[in-house]
């Protein structure tokens, strides 16, 4: 996405370079995080945390010299995992999900939203590794080689995780299935 010159300028904390990096990677990182986390505000907070860690790494001279995309998505993966660890430890109360809207929605939008929610619930039943593979492969359209590098797995392992995740989702979302 960006060239090495932008990254070198970012090391100098050049605001134009930092803005270019933010603009280039915010939406892809947001899509990746939102694939794993359903709440928009939480996603925004977690993506902000990724960029905060990037700035800290730049200041400490520990940011990547190349492959910024892989580094940012690796950090995003850690941030999401940290979020899940904190949420498992912290007591939570169920929230009322019934929000009344006075604006009429077309039937297609409602159907799409229901399918998305069903898919999001089905994804939570997958293993952590399967969720990460799907988020990177389909949420970010990353090639298997890059996913393998980010997750520290072999390409064969990534392919197996993807195949098993898709098969599990197909079983869960098949018509007539009862939860």
DSSP annotation of 107 reads H
Please tell me the pTM assigned to this model.
0.58
Residues 136 and 65 in one domain: no
Is the separation of the CB atoms in 164 and 130 below 8 Å?
Answer: yes
Please count the structural domains in the chain.
Answer: 2
Structural domain that includes position 176: 104-179
What CATH number is given to the structural domain containing 166?
1.10.10.10
How far apart are the C-alpha atoms of 19 and 12, rounded to whole Å?
A: 13
CA 147 – CA 97 distance, rounded (Å): 34
Q: 177 with 153, same domain?
A: yes
- Residues 77, 152 within the same domain: no
Q: So what's the pLDDT on residue 96?
A: 61
Q: What is the pLDDT of residue 93?
A: 63
CB atoms within 10 A of CB 25: 22
Task: Give pLDDT, residue 12.
Answer: 87
Q: What is the pLDDT along the chain (179 residues), one digit of tens a residue?
A: 566 777 888 888 889 989 999 999 999 999 999 988 878 899 999 999 999 999 999 989 888 887 888 899 999 999 999 998 887 765 666 666 666 655 555 677 677 677 778 888 888 888 999 999 998 998 888 999 999 999 999 999 999 999 999 988 888 887 655 44
Q: What is the CATH number of the domain that holds 82?
A: 1.10.1740.10
């Amino acid at each position: 996405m960006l060239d090495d010159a932008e990254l070198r300028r970012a090391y100098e904390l050049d605001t134009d370079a930092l803005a270019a990096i933010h603009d280039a990677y915010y939406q892809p990182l947001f899509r990746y995080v939102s694939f794993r986390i359903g709440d928009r505000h939480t996603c925004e907070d977690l993506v902000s945390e990724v960029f905060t860690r990037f700035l800290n790494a730049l200041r400490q001279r520990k940011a990547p010299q190349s492959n910024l995309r892989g580094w940012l998505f690796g950090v995003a993966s850690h941030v999401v995992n940290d979020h899940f660890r904190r949420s498992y430890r912290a007591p939570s109360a169920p929230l009322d999900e019934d929000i009344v809207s006075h604006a009429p929605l077309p039937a297609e939008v409602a159907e799409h939203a229901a399918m998305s929610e069903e898919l999001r619930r089905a994804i939570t039943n997958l293993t952590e590794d399967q969720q990460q593979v799907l988020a990177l492969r389909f949420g970010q359209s990353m090639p298997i080689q890059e996913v393998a590098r980010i997750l520290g797995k072999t390409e064969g392992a990534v392919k197996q995780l993807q195949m098993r995740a898709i098969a599990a989702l197909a079983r869960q979302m098949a018509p007539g299935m009862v939860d």
